[in-house]
Amino acid sequence: MSTKQPRVIHLADYQVPDYLIDETHLSFDLHEDHTLVQARLVMRRNPAAGDGLPVLMLDGQDLELLSVVLDGKPFLDYQLDEDHLSLQPNAEAFTLETQVRIHPESNTALEGLYQSGSMFCTQCEAEGFRKITYYLDRPDVMSLFTTKVKGERKRYPVLLSNGNPIAQGEEGSRHWVTWEDPFKKPAYLFALVAGDLWCVEDSFTTCSGRKVALRIYVEPENIDKCQHAMDSLKKSMRWDEEVYGREYDLDIFMIVAVNDFNMGAMENKGLNIFNSSAVLAKAETATDAAHQRVEAIVAHEYFHNWSGNRVTCRDWFQLSLKEGFTVFRDAAFSADMNSATVKRIEDVAFLRTHQFAEDAGPMAHAVRPESFIEISNFYTLTVYEKGSEVVGMLHTLLGPKAFRKGTDLYFERHDGQAVTCDDFVKAMEDSSGLDLTQFKRWYSQAGTPRLAVTGQYDAQTKTYTLNFSQSCPATPGQPEKLPFVIPVALGLLDAQGQELPLHLAGESAPRGGHAVFSIDQAEQSLVFINIPEEPVPSLLRGFSAPIKLSFPYTQDQLLFLMQQDSDGFNRWEAGQQLAVQSLQTMIAQVQRKETPILNQRLIQAYDALLQDTSLDQAMLAEMLNLPAEAYLAEIATVADPLAIHAARQAARQAIAEALFDSLWLRYQHNREVSRQTPYVAESEHFARRALQNAALSYLMLTERPEVLAACLVQFQTADNMTERFAALAALVQSPFEAERETALADFAHEFKDNPLVMDQWFSVQATSPLARALERVQSLMGHSAFTLKNPNKVRALIGAFAGQNHAGFHRVDGAGYRFLADRVIELNGSNPQIAARQLTPLTKWRKYAPERQQQMKAELERILNSGNLSPDVYEVVTKSLA
Ligand code: TYR
């Protein structure tokens, strides 16, 4: 069957809803082979939508309609098509009742109501509610919900929905609970859970003294892995009160962990549903990174209660209104809980590698997109991560005080409303008095702006001039761009590394040693006076804008910034630039079949860092980490994945050999402290283990027996997953075949019943740069712990291989591409959202040399012609080929 051409939805076509739903009364009757859903909707004509009574069109998909009742009378005069139930109301206000039958037990797309293992759960964002009942499934229709859930008492002792429980009862072997949510909400925030779940309970007293019950529900075997999420929740609640003045508003806050989930987690009102990978964590089974991810996602979903739920989006083009802002909030929270500089480094490295690639590729879109076929495809790095950077730039331009005034105004003005990105910016304008008209181009123009900077020192007049030239490449549908407002935080350093006072010509006084300047024209200069010597500029400190900045630094200047800059982020950045320069030379050497030689000065700089015991260890670990292969590919004009891999490996090897003694000393010291310290999930401990494991990963490249022995001991005896997994990863990448295979087998044996740990086990093999990675991945697909039905498994094995194993995926024979295309075709039928996401590596085909381009394109075409494509996959494939 060929694919039917899906409809394109445009922001410009937005219209207010014709009808409103004041009350939504739902009743679910859960059975093993079907579920009955009754909906009673108290509706009225939307006064803002004009006169007359237009046809009412309710959204609905895959529903078996059993009955329609209008104002208490059976009603037959309706029309049904694949996506709607339409009828003509004859009054301004009316009550519509429907009954439908649905099949959660066979719902593999994991949208709407579905089963995960033995439990029922929902995922309604963005348009899943229409798979539950006929409704106005759009975020600007907000309603008061009452939900009755009925099921077998034995199988489903726990029955949950949004809000507070108000009634319950028994009917033979079945029981029911009715929940009432006192806050109006759009349907995408609806949730229902039924299952045999245990819960960990705690409480939180809000700033106004209200006691809120906190519950985390999990399957019984996971009851010992909830404490970290609970601690994170309480920290988030306190932080949002202290930093944003936001108090929680219900008497109960629930989190439920489910194994089958398309994304990280979902902020349903009062009943957050989480991918179990984003809740469960304890020392023995979760790494430090997993602990930090849990903390960040718990915070993110909790913060949505205000930035998303109390104030929501008018339409899905405004998605970044809630997601960009909430990512900004959770990043600030994580920065406060851990090392702020390291958090910033991680976020920027991620943004530059992945979001910049998206912004330069066929799916490039603005933070507020103009059109889409399938909204699920727009839960992107651009909407989330770049959206967060845009809010961050507002924070930088306004300063913390005016920004907070702005968020207070935004929450107060729009509480209970569904609003737009413009409304958010307007609140910032009104609180600060700034005109943000031009700034708003960040919401409408796609692409990563470039800022070329040069500096000129005039010894005679003691002035230093910075010249800025900005541009932005064309993106699909946007050939020309207008200048952005780019906040550039900077300092000018003297030879001792001291900040010189920043005194702009024409201004009466200096602005201090560190200041933010708005660059808002295509060409622009800043002239600084009273500069006694030629300074080294430290530009874009803290990565104050999501752009590609270039400055013709000499190696000496980069080394100087790496050692001297008071801005921690820019110290790291200088080291990265130096490493990029050297790696690019090495890549060219590999391509010419020469021996790649690492710049000695980089080695010396790393050595100096290793000697500096005052440096934060997490920071040191970051600084020793060479730019990722994916980043080197992103910044290349034509990416050569095999040469990139070979060059980076050679560089790592050279560092390991040259700095063996210092790395070994650091490793042994930290390992000893770890051995003597019980596991603590806190920043100082994360830092120690990060450096220990970064050192181990280098040291193993030397293949020395004492390192192998230490690695095996760490693997076998450490009491926490962070150390064990790092040792396993080092073994998996090593040539010690016997040790590697034994370790993998032991690990799988020990954790065979823990799906999240098995995900790690799949990933570590999928990302191994050793030969025959694809064959290994193929054979792992047959492992008893693997299934294509579980999104975490797909991501752990297929996603990790195609997205992170560049050498394996880009094999010259094209087998990696074929493998991925086959999986996408398979997944298209069962889970379109996941299928579309797995496509990302193939969409980057234009980055590679002609032969690879041909192979990758051919696979995209094969997918396109495989027939019966979901709108999700259709959109990504056609846009990639366009
Ligand atoms: N709103 C969720 C978040 O906090 C994301 C999400 C979106 C989750 C769609 C699930 C889903 O199907 O980021």
CA of 327 to the centre of ligand 1 (A): 12
HSE, side-chain direction, 13 A CA sphere, residue 501: 11
Distance CA 811, CA 211 (A): 58
Atom of ligand 1 nearest to the CA of 304: 4
Atom of ligand 1 nearest to the CA of 124: 12
Q: Is the CB of residue 379 below 6 angstroms from any atom belonging to ligand 1?
A: yes
Distance CA 832, CA 830 (A): 6
Give the residue from 631, 610, 628 showing the smallest Cα distance to 619: 610
The CATH fold assigned to 315-550 is Immunoglobulin-like (2.60.40)
User: What one-letter code names the amino acid at 368?
Assistant: R
3-state secondary structure of 696: helix
Atom of ligand 1 nearest to the CA of 384: 13
Candidates 263, 300, 305: which one to mutate for ligand 1, based on the most atoms within 8 Å of Cβ?
263
CA of 421 to the centre of ligand 1 (A): 18
CA of 350 to the centre of ligand 1 (A): 19
Q: Is the CB of residue 374 below 6 angstroms from any atom belonging to ligand 1?
A: no
CA of 100 to the centre of ligand 1 (A): 26
Give the residue from 347, 326, 323, 325 showing the smallest Cα distance to 335: 347
Distance CA 433, CA 805 (A): 49
Beta pairing class for 548-550 and 515-519: unpaired
Q: Is the CB of residue 319 below 6 angstroms from any atom belonging to ligand 1?
A: no
H/E segment holding residue 102: strand 93-102
Q: What's the pLDDT at 2?
A: 66
Atom of ligand 1 nearest to the CA of 326: 4
Catalytic residue among 301, 323, 573, 622: 301
CA of 385 to the centre of ligand 1 (A): 14
Concatenated DSSP letters of 132-181: TSSB--STT--EEEEEEEEEETTT--EEEESSEEEEEEEETTEEEEEEEE
The answer to whether residues 23 and 96 touch, using CB atoms and an 8 Å cutoff, is no
CA of 266 to the centre of ligand 1 (A): 5
Q: Is the CB of residue 299 below 6 angstroms from any atom belonging to ligand 1?
A: no
CATH architecture of 1-196: Sandwich (2.60)
Q: What's the pLDDT at 66?
A: 98
Q: Is the CB of residue 123 below 6 angstroms from any atom belonging to ligand 1?
A: yes
CA of 633 to the centre of ligand 1 (A): 29
Q: Is the CB of residue 127 below 6 angstroms from any atom belonging to ligand 1?
A: no
Nearest CA to ligand 1 atom 10: 263
Q: What's the pLDDT at 5?
A: 83
Q: Does the annotation count 507 as an active-site position?
A: no
The answer to whether residues 131 and 111 touch, using CB atoms and an 8 Å cutoff, is yes
Atom of ligand 1 nearest to the CA of 308: 1
Q: Is the CB of residue 300 below 6 angstroms from any atom belonging to ligand 1?
A: yes
**Which CATH code of 3.90.550.10, 3.30.70.20, 3.30.565.10, 3.30.2010.30 fits the domain covering 220-305?**
3.30.2010.30
In 3-state terms the chain splits into helix, strand, coil percentages (rounded to 5) of 45, 20, 35
Nearest CA to ligand 1 atom 3: 266
Q: What's the pLDDT at 1?
A: 53
Nearest CA to ligand 1 atom 1: 266
Atom of ligand 1 nearest to the CA of 111: 12
The ipTM of this complex is 0.96
Q: Which CATH class is domain 568-657+732-881?
A: mainly alpha
Q: Is the CB of residue 347 below 6 angstroms from any atom belonging to ligand 1?
A: no
Gap between the terminal Cα atoms of the chain: 22
Work out the angle at residue 780's Cα, subtended by the Cα atoms of residues 751 and 641, and round it to the nearest 5 degrees.
115
The answer to whether residues 379 and 319 touch, using CB atoms and an 8 Å cutoff, is yes
Backbone CA torsion sign across 735, 741, 747, 753 = positive
Taking the chain (882 residues) in runs of 10, the rounded mean pLDDT of each run is 83 98 99 98 97 97 98 98 97 98 98 98 98 99 99 98 98 98 98 98 98 98 98 99 98 98 98 98 98 98 99 98 99 97 98 98 98 98 98 98 98 98 98 98 98 98 98 98 98 98 98 98 98 98 98 98 97 98 98 98 98 96 98 98 98 98 98 98 97 98 98 98 98 96 98 98 96 96 98 98 97 98 98 98 98 98 97 98 97
Q: Is the CB of residue 640 below 6 angstroms from any atom belonging to ligand 1?
A: no
Burial 263-292 (b: 16+ CB within 10 A, else e): bbbbbbbbbbbbbbbbbbbbbebbbbebbb
Q: Is the CB of residue 565 below 6 angstroms from any atom belonging to ligand 1?
A: no
